């Protein structure tokens, strides 16, 4: 059980900077999810912690111990790999026992721990099988079990669900959360899937191009993204972005998006005052755009007329692909809405939920509380 | 496919089946038959030819015992050393940046004929220290020049300067010198195949072992070697077959002199120099008997591959 | 908690890492890898020396070869001469032997590919009774020692030998002492490996491809020539290289089936004869050996990739 600390960690491969001045403190018992698009350095960050890659600069601590030069085997961590990485020539039992055998744990103790883990994971019947005789989901459990028996200071999981089919993935997500509660160990979980991050994490760290973008609780990241990247990455379908210009003074202030204009809510006036006459990036999540015919928005609704391009029926909701004067965006509306492709409809933007970003720095504008 | 005439496949197979029948199947059957006939293949002699091999009545002309023992030497030493070296090289070359260059230099002898290799190594083993590289190295290290291809002593006598010789007979210096040439030629093969197998092992599995607490040696011993064992078997069987059939190398380097004959060279001598087809055929059958277990292994392995395809 | 934003220019910020620990880590890593590099280098040198020794010596003066080791040639690099090659090619008939090797090898290689591809197609894509049994038998034939087949085949050859001389190339038309006899023999001996390798490759081609071709109305012949052969070029190249080297480097088959006919002898036979008659005349032997190695080495370096593929595709070759 331990805190994990990344202190100004940088990793370079020849000329590529995979992880750039990475700072993160992961308290004991946290379920931290490192999320980002592929190639963002999240796996490298995890492998640095595991001791599978050498750190170029900076320090990593597990608890109070500096582990920069500690080999992987002595770091007291366990890892679940994307391909599960089961030893193909060993039975499930031996796979789970291997790490303990190497540590010269007594036979009876090994047996006890393996059976306990197997029972928790529901794989007691598979102990004599070889990995190739198992289904994907079963292999995944064995990989988890192999990590569990070690009773490590931290669990590292590298995209462990990406080889499972969609249904099994949803099921395993919940089971992983349960396991985390039960074991009470630090989990560090890497994924490119923001849904996995949102559903399981106690905290999420978003990475892009080797740089840490934002760290926070899932809801916090969704409600208050600190830059354009995080805003677009968290949430599905992704947030709509519009190039806008701040026009007018005070009560007259509005955002001009060429094809349409939306008024700025009173609470935003102070924040946008310095941007008067300047360009900003205006963000609106699809779920905050609604069709007033069937489900009106909040009080601060701004009407926008658009053409329906495509509709995607999901059953519980409908995704509308809309076009307003050449600018495409998406709305996520109630299935009772009757919009048809080719129709012109009037939708409403929920301005209380708007996001504004500086086009230069791509950072969010406005005080945190507001967003 | 529906509507293909039943004889179409046989039409496609005919040329191959005809050639295989004439050049491989018929000869095997015929050789077995001849091994029970006399030297001119005229009259039935029962097991006399085999008895000749076992009794070894003419050790000076055709020393069957020595040939059989030497073949066993080839089988074990040649296969063992080559597989071990190949495995070591596969692991080592995979860890350096000059992997391609390292592999090429080990692999080149594969492309050379046994005849050319024989010339190369007669030159290397030459007694005259102004010519022979090996002896030049030995003498400059303070040793004595050795006639590598004729010395029938054991390495023990060589090391202890003609001291006592308690090692088993076929472990002769000249045999070892010959076997080393075989090793030199085939290590590249073992290395390439094993290295491909090694690359097939997922890096995640090796990393998992590292995180599990294994050191480099434990990873090699308990993960790499077991996972690689099917490939090791493939390499070993190929080498065993090579070791069994070894002919060209011995024939050109020593002609079987100084007790270096193997079954294949002795067979050649019997059949084409002495002119005794009966004994020659019996020797060939002995070779085949040794190959049979490997045949069975190959077939098993092939069936297994088909099932898991 | 420090946060970085994508547009801030401090992507290049160098975190304050103690440089001493870093250097120590690198040094430790290098020291740990030193034995690895040393042992690998030693093996590389050990494995290359014999070939280099041969190459250097073949360019040295006969007097120099006999009186000082080849490693001394580095000291007088301008004393090297091509005379040995001239002697061997002109007086010892190596030129003719080289020619013979080509005549024997090229058709044997082409023939084996044709016949084997033909049979492998049937094994891979046609259904017929005994198919698996027959193929297993083929796998078994991989390990039959060639020596074993020599006497019976020689007997057969003596029955069917056609004594008339083959125009242009020389030798008999068929049987012992004929090129054609060599072609057929080498083709037959190469077949088990070739069929095994090609069948496995053909079998790995996607089934859809064949089915769509059949649906389009293509005959077996058409599918074979227009789809299977072009797609199998990697396997066929690998096989071609292998068969080429195997035949080129063969001594036994040539020794027996050419019946000591000196005009037809390929280089392996020629070099063997030189060894027995010139014993330690290394100026002749080294040059002759190197000529016999030249083509395989060129092929090896030019087509290394296919060479390795071939080995991996069918590493059961007997």
Residue of A48, A74, A55, A63 whose CA lies nearest to A156: A48
Give the total residue count for chain B. 309
Distance separating alpha carbons of residues C243 and A89, to the nearest angstrom: 36
Distance of CA C246 to the CA centre of its chain: 6
Name the minimum distance, in Å, from the CA of A76 to any CA of chain B. 8
**Region A178-190 average pLDDT:** 91
Which of B4, B7, B9 best probes binding to C when mutated, by most C CB atoms within 10 angstroms? B9
C85 touching B (Cβ < 8 Å): no
Q: Which domains are delineated in chain A?
A: 4-233 (3.40.50.300), 240-357 (2.40.50.140)
CA distance B108 to B184: 10
Interface contact B212-A52, CB threshold 8 A: no
Query: What token pair was written down for A188?
Result: 């560090």
Q: Which residue has the higher pLDDT, C105 or B257?
A: C105
Q: How many CA atoms lie within 13 A of C261 on its CB side?
A: 19
Give the chain B residue whose CA is nearest to the CA of A80.
B208
Q: What is the pLDDT of residue C9?
A: 37
Q: State the Cα–Cα distance between residues A256 and A240, nearest whole angstrom.
A: 15
* Residue C158 CB neighbours (<10 A): 11
Starting at the earlier edge strand, list the strands of the sheet with A4-13. A16-26, A4-13, A57-62, A65-66
Q: How far is C165 from chain B (nearest CA, A)?
A: 24
Chain A residue with Cα closest to C16: A58
Cα–Cα dist C70/C64, whole Å: 8
A87 and B209: CB-CB below 8 Å? Answer: yes
pLDDT for the residue C6: 38
Q: Do A87 and B215 touch (CB under 8 A)?
A: no
Count of alpha carbons within 13 angstroms of residue C129, beta-carbon side: 3
Q: With an 8 Å Cβ cutoff, are B8 and C289 in contact?
A: no
* Cα–Cα distance for residue pair B182/B250, rounded to 1 Å: 10
Chain A touching partners, 3 or more CB pairs below 8 A:
B, C
- How far apart CA B206 and CA B201 sit, in angstroms, is 8
- The Cα of A21 is separated from the nearest Cα of chain C by a number of Å equal to 6
Q: What average pLDDT does range C127-131 have in this prediction?
A: 84
Tell me the two tokens of residue B306. 């088909």
Q: Is A38 helix (H, G, I), strand (E, B) or coil?
A: coil
**pLDDT tops 90 at residue B283:** no
Mean pLDDT throughout B232-239?
84
* Range with top average pLDDT, A275-279, C24-28, C145-149: A275-279
Whether the pLDDT of residue B303 is over 60: the answer is yes
Contact (Cβ atoms closer than 8 angstroms) between residue B242 and residue B185: no
Tell me the β-bridge partners of A35. Answer: A191, A206
User: Chain C: nearest CA to B71, how far in angstroms?
Assistant: 14
At residue C318, the pLDDT reads 33
The residues near C24 (Cβ < 8 Å, ≥ 6 apart) are: none
pLDDT at C14: 37
How confident is the prediction for chain A on average, in pLDDT? 89
DSSP strand pairing (C172-174 vs C162-165) = antiparallel
Residue of chain B whose alpha carbon sits nearest to that of A50? B211
Residues 6+ apart with CB under 8 A from A119: none
Q: Which residues does A233 contact at the CB level (< 8 Å), separation at least 6?
A: A35, A36, A37, A194, A206, A208
CA distance B149 to A198: 75
CB contact, 8 Å: C235 with chain B? no
pLDDT above 50: residue C4: no
pLDDT in tens, A222-276: 999 999 999 999 988 899 999 999 988 777 888 888 878 888 888 888 888 888 8
For A199-224, what is each residue's pLDDT tens digit?
Answer: 999 999 999 999 999 999 999 999 99
Residues of chain C with Cβ-Cβ distance to A54 below 8 Å are 25, 29
Cross-chain residue pair C312–B192, CB shorter than 8 Å: yes
More confident residue, C4 or A155: A155
Model confidence at C272, in pLDDT bands (50, 70, 90)? Answer: confident
Q: Burial-class residue B130 by CB neighbours within 10 Å (0-12, 13-18, 19+).
A: middle
Q: Is the pLDDT of residue C202 over 50?
A: yes
User: Which of the residue ranges B127-131, B264-268, C87-91 has the most confident prediction, judged by mean pLDDT?
Assistant: B264-268
Stretch among B113-117, B223-227, C41-45 having the lowest mean pLDDT: B113-117
By the CB < 8 Å criterion, does B97 face chain C? no
Mean pLDDT confidence for A130-151: 90
Distance CA C229, CA C223 (A): 9
What's the pLDDT band for C279 if we cut at 50, 70, 90? low
Predicted pLDDT of residue C140:
78
DSSP labels, A255-293:
EEETTEEEEPPGGGHHHHGGGTTSEEEEEE-GGGEE-TT
Residue B106: pLDDT above 80?
Answer: yes
Q: Give the mean pLDDT of B190-208.
A: 88
Q: Quickly list DSSP for chain C.
A: -----TTSSGGG------HHHHHHHHHHHHHHHHHHHHHHHHHHHHHHHHHHHHHHHHTS-HHHHHHS-GGGGGTSGGG--SHHHHHHHHHS-HHHHHHHHHHHHHHHHHHHHHHHHHHHHHHHH---TTHHHHHHHHHHHTTS-HHHHHHHHHHHHHHH-EEEEPTTT-SEEESTTBHHHHHHHHHHHHHHHHHHHHHHHHHTS-HHHHHHHHHTT--HHHHIIIIIHHHTHHHHHHHHHHHHHHHHT--HHHHHHTTT-TTT--HHHHHHHHHHHHTT-HHHHHHHHHHHHHHHHHHHHHSHHHHHHHHHHTTT--
**Smallest Cα–Cα separation from A338: which of A325, A322, A324, A320?**
A320
How many CA atoms lie less than 13 Å away from C285 in the CB half-sphere?
A: 27
Cα A89 from Cα B232, distance rounded (Å)? 14
CB atoms within 10 A of CB C187: 26
C107 pLDDT band, cuts 50/70/90, is very high
Interface B:C, Cβ pairs < 8 A: 280
Highest mean pLDDT, choosing among A204-208, A253-257, B91-95, C90-94: A204-208
Residues in C closer than 8 angstroms to A363, CB to CB, are 5, 7
CB-based contact (8 Å) between B169 and chain C?
no
Q: What is the mean pLDDT of residues C76-80?
A: 66
Partner residues linked to A60 by β-bridges: A6
Q: Residues A358, A362, A368, A371: is their CA dihedral positive or negative? A: positive
C:9-48 residues touching chain B, CB 8 A cutoff: 33, 36-37, 39-40, 43-44, 47-48
pLDDT in tens, A4-62: 999 999 999 888 899 999 999 999 999 999 999 988 999 999 999 998 888 999 999 99
Q: Where exactly are the structural domains of chain B?
A: 75-253
The DSSP letter of residue A122 is T
| Structure token pair of residue B197 | 């197998």
Q: What is the pLDDT of residue A319?
A: 92
What's the confidence (pLDDT) of residue B304? 67
Sorted by sequence, the CB contacts under 8 Å of residue B108 that are 6+ apart come out as B188, C47, C48, C51, C297, C300
Greater confidence (A17 vs C26) lies with A17
What does the domain layout of chain C look like in residue ranges?
32-81, 93-313
Residue A14: beta bridge partners?
none
Alpha helix ranges (H) inside chain A: 42-50, 92-102, 107-121, 136-149, 166-183, 194-200, 218-223, 228-233, 269-272
What angle, rounded to 10 degrees, do the helices at B114-125 and B173-200 form? 130
| Residue B140 or residue A45, greater confidence | A45
Least confident range of A301-315, B71-85, B162-176, C189-203: B162-176
Cross-chain Cβ contact A213/C5 below 8 Å: yes
pLDDT surpassing 90 at residue A96? yes
- Candidate from B1, B285, B291 with C-beta closest to C143: B291
Fold classified for B75-253: MetI-like fold (1.10.3720)
Mean per-residue pLDDT for A155-168? 89
- The band of C27, judged by pLDDT with boundaries at 50, 70 and 90, is low
pLDDT of C131 > 80? The answer is yes
pLDDT at position C204, please? 77
How sure is the predictor about A191, in pLDDT bands with cuts at 50, 70 and 90? very high
d(CA B108, CA B186): 10
Pick from A268-272, A305-309, A339-343, B169-173: least confident: B169-173
Residues of C in contact with B241 (CB under 8 A): 143, 318
Query: Any idea what DSSP says for residue A37?
Result: S
Nearest to A83 among B204, B213, B227 (CB): B204
* Tokens 């050393």 sit on residue: B81
Per DSSP, A27 falls in state -
- Tell me, yes or no, if A52 comes closer than 8 A to chain B by beta carbon: yes
User: For position B156, what pLDDT does the model report?
Assistant: 62
The Cβ-side half-sphere exposure at A261, using a 13 Å CA radius, reads 10
Q: Does B56 touch chain A (CB under 8 A)?
A: no
The interface predicted TM-score (ipTM) is 0.80
Q: How far, CA to CA in Å, does B30 sit from each of A160, B35, C101, C137?
A: 62, 9, 30, 17
Per-residue pLDDT tens over the stretch B53-67: 777 777 666 777 778
User: Which chains neighbour C (Cβ–Cβ under 8 Å, 3 or more pairs)?
Assistant: A, B
Phi, psi of A193 (to 5 degrees): -100, 110
Least confidently predicted of B131-140, B204-213, C95-104: B131-140
Q: Report the range of poorest mean pLDDT among C50-59, C73-82, C174-183, C197-206.
A: C73-82
- The CATH architecture annotation of domain C93-313 reads Orthogonal Bundle (1.10)
Contact A245, A334 (CB under 8 A): no
Q: How many CB atoms lie within 10 A of CB C8?
A: 13
Residue B69 in this model has a pLDDT that exceeds 50: yes
Residues of chain C with pLDDT > 70, as a percent, come to 80
pLDDT in tens, C213-246: 888 878 888 888 888 888 888 888 888 888 888 8
Q: Which residue matches tokens 């205006």?
A: A282
Nearest by Cα to C248 from C235, C265, C263, C266: C266
Alpha carbon of A204: minimum distance to chain B alpha carbons (Å):
24
> Residue B66 is encoded by which pair of tokens?
């020595």
Beta-bridge partner residues of A307:
A323, A344
């Amino acid at each position: 059980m331990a805190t994990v600390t990344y202190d100004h960690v940088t990793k370079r491969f020849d000329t590529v900077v995979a992880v750039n001045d990475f700072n993160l403190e992961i308290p004991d018992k946290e379920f931290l999810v490192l999320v980002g698009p592929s190639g963002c350095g999240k796996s490298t960050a995890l492998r640095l912690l595991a001791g599978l890659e050498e750190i170029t600069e900076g320090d990593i601590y597990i608890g109070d111990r500096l582990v920069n030069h500690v080999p992987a085997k002595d770091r007291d961590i366990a890892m679940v790999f994307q391909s599960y990485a089961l030893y193909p020539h060993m039975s499930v039992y031996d796979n789970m026992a291997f790490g303990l055998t190497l540590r010269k744990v007594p036979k009876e103790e090994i047996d006890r721990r393996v059976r306990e883990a197997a029972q928790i994971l529901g794989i007691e019947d598979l102990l004599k099988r070889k990995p190739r005789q198992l289904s994907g989901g079963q292999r995944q459990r064995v990989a988890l079990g192999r990590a569990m028996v070690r009773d490590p200071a931290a669990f590292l999981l590298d995209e462990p669900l990406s080889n499972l089919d969609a249904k099994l993935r949803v099921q395993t997500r919940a089971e992983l959360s349960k396991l985390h509660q039960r074991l009470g160990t630090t989990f560090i979980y890497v994924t490119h899937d923001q849904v996995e991050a949102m559903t399981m994490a106690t905290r999420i760290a978003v990475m892009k191009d080797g740089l840490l973008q934002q760290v926070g609780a899932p809801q916090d990241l969704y409600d208050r993204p600190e830059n354009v990247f995080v805003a677009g990455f968290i949430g599905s379908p992704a947030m709509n972005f519009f190039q806008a210009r701040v026009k007018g003074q005070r009560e007259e202030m509005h955002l001009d998006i060429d094809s349409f204009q939306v008024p700025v809510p009173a609470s935003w006036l102070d924040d946008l005052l310095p941007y008067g006459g300047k360009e900003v990036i205006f963000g609106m999540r699809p779920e905050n755009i609604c069709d007033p015919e069937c489900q009106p928005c909040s009080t601060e609704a701004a009407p926008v007329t658009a053409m329906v391009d495509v509709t995607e029926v999901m059953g519980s909701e409908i995704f509308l692909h809309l076009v307003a004067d050449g600018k495409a965006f998406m709305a996520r509306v109630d299935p009772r809405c009757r919009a048809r492709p080719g129709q012109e409809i009037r939708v409403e933007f929920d301005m209380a939920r708007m996001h504004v970003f500086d086009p230069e720095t791509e950072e969010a504008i406005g005080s945190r509380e507001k967003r | 496919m529906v509507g293909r005439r039943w004889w179409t496949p046989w039409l496609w197979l005919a040329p191959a089946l005809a050639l295989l029948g004439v050049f491989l199947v018929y000869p095997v059957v015929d050789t077995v038959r001849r091994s029970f006939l006399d030297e001119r293949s005229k009259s039935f002699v029962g097991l006399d030819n085999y008895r000749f091999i076992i009794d070894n009545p003419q050790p000076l002309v055709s020393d069957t015992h020595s040939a059989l023992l030497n073949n066993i030497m080839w089988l074990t030493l040649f296969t063992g050393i080559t597989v071990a070296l190949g495995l070591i090289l596969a692991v080592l070359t995979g860890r350096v940046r000059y992997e391609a260059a390292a592999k090429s230099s080990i692999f080149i002898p594969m492309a050379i004929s046994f005849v050319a290799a024989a010339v190369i190594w007669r030159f290397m083993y030459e007694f005259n220290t102004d010519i022979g590289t090996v002896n030049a190295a030995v003498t400059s290290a303070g040793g004595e020049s050795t006639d590598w291809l004729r010395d029938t002593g054991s390495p023990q006598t060589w090391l202890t300067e003609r001291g006592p010789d308690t090692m088993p007979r076929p472990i002769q210096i000249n045999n070892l010198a010959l076997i080393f040439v075989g090793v030199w030629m085939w290590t590249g093969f073992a290395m390439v195949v094993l290295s491909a197998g090694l690359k097939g092992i997922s890096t995640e599995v090796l990393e998992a072992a590292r995180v599990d607490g294994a050191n480099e040696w434990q990873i090699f011993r308990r993960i790499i070697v077991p996972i690689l064992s099917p490939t090791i078997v493939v390499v070993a069987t190929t080498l065993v077959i090579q070791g069994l059939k070894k002919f060209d190398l011995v024939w050109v380097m020593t002609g079987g002199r100084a007790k270096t004959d193997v079954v294949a060279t002795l067979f050649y001598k019997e059949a084409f120099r002495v002119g005794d087809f009966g004994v020659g055929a019996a020797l060939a059958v002995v070779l085949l008997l040794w190959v049979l277990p490997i045949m069975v292994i190959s077939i098993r392995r092939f069936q297994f591959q088909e099932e898991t395809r | 908690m420090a946060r970085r934003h994508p547009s801030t220019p401090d992507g290049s910020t160098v975190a304050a890492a103690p440089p001493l620990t870093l250097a120590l880590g690198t040094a430790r890593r290098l020291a740990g890898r030193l034995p690895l590099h040393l042992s690998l280098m030693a093996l590389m040198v050990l494995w290359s020396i014999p070939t280099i020794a041969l190459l250097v010596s073949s360019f040295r003066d006969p007097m120099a070869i006999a009186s000082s080791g080849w490693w001394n040639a580095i000291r007088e690099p301008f004393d090297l001469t091509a005379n040995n090659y001239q002697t061997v090619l002109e007086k010892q008939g190596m030129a003719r032997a080289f020619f013979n090797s080509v005549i024997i090898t090229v058709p044997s290689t082409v023939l084996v590919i044709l016949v084997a591809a033909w049979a492998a197609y049937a094994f891979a894509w046609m259904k017929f009774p005994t198919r698996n049994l027959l193929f297993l038998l083929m796998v078994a034939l991989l390990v039959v020692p060639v020596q074993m087949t020599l006497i019976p085949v020689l007997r057969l050859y003596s029955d069917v030998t056609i004594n008339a001389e083959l125009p242009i190339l020389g030798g008999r038309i068929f049987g012992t002492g004929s090129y054609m006899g060599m072609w057929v023999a080498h083709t037959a001996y190469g077949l088990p490996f070739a069929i095994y390798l090609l069948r496995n490759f053909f079998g790995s081609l996607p089934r859809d491809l064949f089915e769509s071709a059949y649906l389009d109305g293509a005959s077996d012949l058409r599918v074979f020539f227009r789809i299977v052969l072009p797609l199998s070029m990697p396997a066929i190249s690998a096989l071609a290289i292998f068969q080429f080297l195997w035949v080129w480097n063969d001594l036994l088959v040539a020794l027996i089936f050419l019946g000591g006919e000196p005009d037809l002898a390929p280089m392996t036979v020629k070099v063997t004869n030189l060894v027995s008659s010139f014993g330690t005349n290394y100026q002749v032997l080294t040059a002759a050996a190197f000529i016999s190695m030249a083509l395989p080495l060129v092929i090896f370096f030019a087509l290394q990739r296919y060479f390795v593929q071939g080995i991996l595709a069918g590493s059961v070759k007997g």
